[in-house]
Amino acid sequence: METKPQINQKIELTLKGLGIHGEGVGSWQGYTLFVDGALPGEVVEARVVETKRSFGRAQALSYRTLSPHRVTPSCPLFGKCGGCQIMHLDYAEQLVIKRQRVVDALERIGKLTGIEVLPCRGSPLPLGYRNKIQLSVISSPTGVKLGLYAYNSHDLVEIEKCPIHSALGEEVFHQLLSLLKPFSPEELGLRYVLIKSAIHTEQALVIFVTEGEATFALRKIARALKESCSIVRGIVQNINKTSGNTVLGKEYHVLEGEGAIEERIGGLTFKVSPASFFQVNPLQAEELYNKALELAELNGEETLLDAYCGVGTLSLLFAKRVKRVIGVECIPSAIADAKENAKKNGIMNVEFTCNDVERYISTLSAVNVALLNPPRKGCATSFLEKLSQLAPRSIVYISCDPATLARDLAYLENRGFHTETVQPFDMFPQTAHVETIVSLSHDSIF
């Protein structure tokens, strides 16, 4: 029987695992407690700071036992900035923990046992891998500063460098910081700055998010950045007049240079526009895409459905190996980029349509292979039901959330599919996130 501790009560706690946000997880007299910064295997003296019906939170006051996997974080802002959650855990152990998170989700949520989960595939770059950084403007008496949100907070932490940001992006960031500092936020009318970089083509795109028209000072900075930083191909203004948490508005204006950059993946060239989604770890993304091609076991005669196709990256990579690809995405700008990417690469056997996959799948009569890459919420039950009726011989499912993956796999297992391969991928080193690719085959092929 569990006993709930009192607020401010001091307890000794042994941590047994990590939560989905990277916090340590332990049990005190049967009651689950989360402790920020603590690692599995550590024993802490902690003060209880929050209690709910089934779990609570505690603050570590001292460590009685430290994990042998604890390391010194490579960023001095670790623990303050919310960008990284497990930089204090050695990288090999990060991969072990991420694999276990997938195992736990399959067993606890999906009630799936006996499925082998392969070791988590590590990133080629544990640091310096991100091709995108999104920064908020901080008002300061000494000029404009840029920052990221603090952990579990809307407070901002000023940053001047980021260890997980690509070297290319950092070069642009440092140059931009030096140009921004003499100005006040009011002179610039600036809310956010986004930097997108393409490591294979060595190009960068900078997006200034403002509340209104670009000021004279902002245009001056854009011109100076374009002239002083050769890898910057364009500076784009985005106007966002809303007061909520949404960063990008719908209106774009090119201030300098071009309105998009290009990146190469798998021998193809892709447009990276201000609003388009592109995997933030391009080197690991290429490994993930190669694994998807391998698991699909294609013979060249297939009709393939790419649900949630985004800007068409996987659709176009698969198009070289199949007879026909149908790419479906509900975001109009993504479909526009996908069509442009197909034209750019001279690929003719792909059809892109802007629609909800839940609605569009009802129009299909047959597909041989289905590629699923849904958002964090996973696939709608209505979509999975229609997909089960189509009974493709194989499904390749790429997931960014083990919990919804487990739920969807359980549904498919109950409708004639068999889980073959489960391979976690570390797309976001130093964070608690894990990506997983799964292959399923239909029972009719056995």
Residues catalogued as catalytic: 400
Q: Encoding tokens for residue 184?
A: 């006040």
Question: What is the residue type of 60?
Answer: A
Cβ atoms 204, 260 nearer than 8 A = no
CA distance 253 to 235: 9
Whether 164 contacts 127, CB under 8 Å: yes
Torsion of CA 432, 433, 439, 442, to 10 degrees: 100
Contacts of 156 (CB under 8 A, 6+ apart): 136, 138, 147, 148, 149, 150
Specify whether the CB–CB gap between 193 and 137 falls below 8 A: yes
Phi, psi dihedral angles at 332 (to 5 degrees): -55, -45
